[in-house]
Amino acid sequence: MGTPSERIDDPLRPVYHFTAPSNWLNDPNGLIHWKGTYHLFYQYTPDNPLGGLKHWGHASSKDLVHWRDHPIAISPTPGSCDEDGIYSGCTVDADGTPMAFYSGVRGPNQLVCRASSDDDLMTWIKDPNNPVIDAPPDGLELVTTDDGTIHYRDPSVWREDDSWWMTVGTGITGTGGAVLLYRSRDLANWDYVGPILIGDSSQRHPVWTGTVWECPQLFPLGDRHVLLISVWADERTYYTAWMAGTYRDLRFTPEHTAILDPGCFYAPQTFEDEQGRRIMFGWLREQRGRAAMASATWNGAMTIPWELSLGDDRRLRYRPVPELQVLRRDHRRVEHLELGPGHATMLPGLDGDTLELDVRITPGAARVVGLILRRSPDGSEETRIVFEPDNEALAIDRTRSSLDTTGDRERHEAPLALADGETLQLRVFVDRTIIEVVANGRVMLTERIYPTRADSLGVGVFAEGGNAIVERLDRWRMTAG
């Protein structure tokens, strides 16, 4: 994670969210809990803050909170099928040997390759027979862009019923994103089975799913299966969608589909740890201007680890892993605070830029209610987490987050409807430029903000249009991970 002093010197750099030692990071890859150690690999361009040639960076942790950087795990080999990039993928336990599957990029091709490790995931030896799948399946017209790129990538592998299975993300021209399924007995020879699901890019409801699906992952959760896809179209990455449904006869049938997080979150990956928990990391994209990114020493962060479950309504639930509580310091609590409409109540003594907050609010008659974060004493900078009960929407208002206006300030709304009598519960993780929110365990919204002032640290609460009550607000300062 870089040396602690480097990290603390840059007031924009998160301290308890994972960032690469320097330069560009994107998707989490190859997540695995191996012999008591968590391993996080990630898309990494070690020499450029704006991205470029992709490698697999590597870090490990005993507790999902404190991470140790390791040398780059997998690098492109000039003259080989991965000379233009080691794209996203996974790791599996191949009968006692860690094995990584990734997309090797060469020119227009993105083909499935593999590598294995005989020293507990520190060094990786590529299969001399790469690529293990040397062409996309015949008979499908895959989305191909002007530069010739055939969009077919991001293998995800698991074991089930004496077979190994693999999905690959792609898009079918004129139709929509798709997840293709393969089967193998030995992890070396793969047979194409068929698509488990094909999207329809002409449909807007319940969620528009673009033309190509990146980083698909299918996994069992509760009494259903969940499919995560990251929506790509016309050279743009949009958001991740989750689908919960049934996986039967090698086809996935969604029952619920929703955007996982409409903010900066993208390309998550999950894994089951040795305690049987389904844990997710996602990539938090920067949302600042290109010039600011070009002059920064780092780019991109991971979410905190979120534990996933399925609610009785068969929708996703998110819980911060309890391990994060070791970072908590300086607990403060505010109870039963009545909020009158139209003015903000600042909470002196609760301020900070690396915080966890757990807040319960009864919106009452308020039209808008929420939290104020990273506010300067003169109010020239502030960020608001806003809940609008009538509109059934949660958003992060960034219009005044920064005096520097080159960053993204767009409002991304997450649908949030409270049941009658249900309290609004916000779990919030503030880490310098990251605001990560889960509302009522079921709605996730993450954004990046770039305050310019060192004194933009204030925390407050507000209501508009009617009275509301803060039932309880717990706040901790979070130390460096």
Instruction: Name, in order, each residue with C-beta under 8 angstroms of 339's C-beta and a sequence gap of 6 or more.
Output: 345, 366, 369, 461, 462, 463, 467, 468, 469, 470
Minimum distance from CB of 140 to ligand FRU (Å)?
18
Among 25, 267, 296, 469, binds ligand FRU (CB under 6 A): 267
Q: Is 12 helix (H, G, I), strand (E, B) or coil?
A: coil
Instruction: Name, in order, each residue with C-beta under 8 angstroms of 132's C-beta and a sequence gap of 6 or more.
Output: 101, 112, 113, 114, 188, 189, 190
Of 415, 387, 381, whose CA–CA distance to 401 is shortest? 381
Question: Does residue 285 bind ligand FRU (CB under 6 A)?
Answer: no
Is 16 or 283 the residue whose CB approaches ligand FRU more closely? 283
Decide: 228 and 207 in contact? Cβ < 8 Å: no
Question: Does residue 381 bind ligand FRU (CB under 6 A)?
Answer: no
- Residues 217-236 binding ligand FRU (CB under 6 A) are 230
Is 237 or 423 the residue whose CB approaches ligand FRU more closely? 237
How far apart CA 473 and CA 458 sit, in angstroms, is 15
Report the phi/psi class of residue 322: left, alpha or beta, with left for phi > 0 and alpha for psi in -120 to 50. alpha
> What would the x/- binding string for ligand FRU be over residues 150 to 179, using CB under 6 A?
---xx-------------------------
Minimum distance from CB of 268 to ligand FRU (Å)?
10
Provide the CA 232 distance to its chain's centre, in angstroms: 15
Among 16, 27, 76, 451, binds ligand FRU (CB under 6 A): 27
Among 13, 54, 114, 448, binds ligand FRU (CB under 6 A): 54
Token pair, residue 359, equals: 């807040």
Is 57 or 352 the residue whose CB approaches ligand FRU more closely? 57
Minimum distance from CB of 85 to ligand FRU (Å)?
7
Among 20, 40, 41, 43, binds ligand FRU (CB under 6 A): 43
How far apart CA 150 and CA 156 sit, in angstroms, is 18
Is 132 or 463 the residue whose CB approaches ligand FRU more closely? 132
Decide: 196 and 246 in contact? Cβ < 8 Å: no
Produce one character per residue of 94-120: b if its CB has 16 or more CB atoms within 10 Å, e if not. Answer: beeebbbbbbbbbeebbbbbbbbbeee
Amino acid residing at 12: L
Token pair, residue 324, equals: 């994060």
Question: Does residue 55 bind ligand FRU (CB under 6 A)?
Answer: no
Minimum distance from CB of 212 to ligand FRU (Å)?
8
Minimum distance from CB of 64 to ligand FRU (Å)?
22
Minimum distance from CB of 360 to ligand FRU (Å)?
35
Decide: 3 and 13 in contact? Cβ < 8 Å: no
Is 245 or 268 the residue whose CB approaches ligand FRU more closely? 268
Question: Does residue 461 bind ligand FRU (CB under 6 A)?
Answer: no
Minimum distance from CB of 263 to ligand FRU (Å)?
15
Minimum distance from CB of 50 to ligand FRU (Å)?
13
Which residue is associated with the tokens 């227009």? Answer: 108
Is 215 or 334 the residue whose CB approaches ligand FRU more closely? 215
Question: Does residue 26 bind ligand FRU (CB under 6 A)?
Answer: yes
Is 57 or 305 the residue whose CB approaches ligand FRU more closely? 57
How far apart CA 402 and CA 412 sit, in angstroms, is 17
- Residues 98-117 binding ligand FRU (CB under 6 A) are 103
Token pair, residue 73, equals: 């795990």
The rounded radius of gyration (Å) of the Cα atoms in the chain is: 22
By CB under 6 A, the count of residues binding ligand FRU is 15
Is 234 or 312 the residue whose CB approaches ligand FRU more closely? 234
Token pair, residue 155, equals: 């293998």
Q: Is 291 helix (H, G, I), strand (E, B) or coil?
A: helix
How far apart CA 191 and CA 166 sit, in angstroms, is 10
Decide: 58 and 39 in contact? Cβ < 8 Å: yes
Among 82, 84, 214, 351, binds ligand FRU (CB under 6 A): 214
Question: Does residue 87 bind ligand FRU (CB under 6 A)?
Answer: yes
Is 26 or 383 the residue whose CB approaches ligand FRU more closely? 26
Among 88, 201, 383, 456, binds ligand FRU (CB under 6 A): 88
Q: Which residues pair with 443 in a beta bridge?
A: 439
Is 53 or 337 the residue whose CB approaches ligand FRU more closely? 53
How far apart CA 214 and CA 227 sit, in angstroms, is 12
- Residues 341-380 binding ligand FRU (CB under 6 A) are none
How far apart CA 115 and CA 80 sit, in angstroms, is 14
Among 25, 90, 111, 215, binds ligand FRU (CB under 6 A): 215
Is 236 or 336 the residue whose CB approaches ligand FRU more closely? 236
Token pair, residue 166, equals: 């693999």
How far apart CA 473 and CA 337 sit, in angstroms, is 9
Binding site for ligand FRU (CB under 6 A): 26-27, 43, 54, 87-88, 103, 153-154, 214-215, 230, 237, 266-267
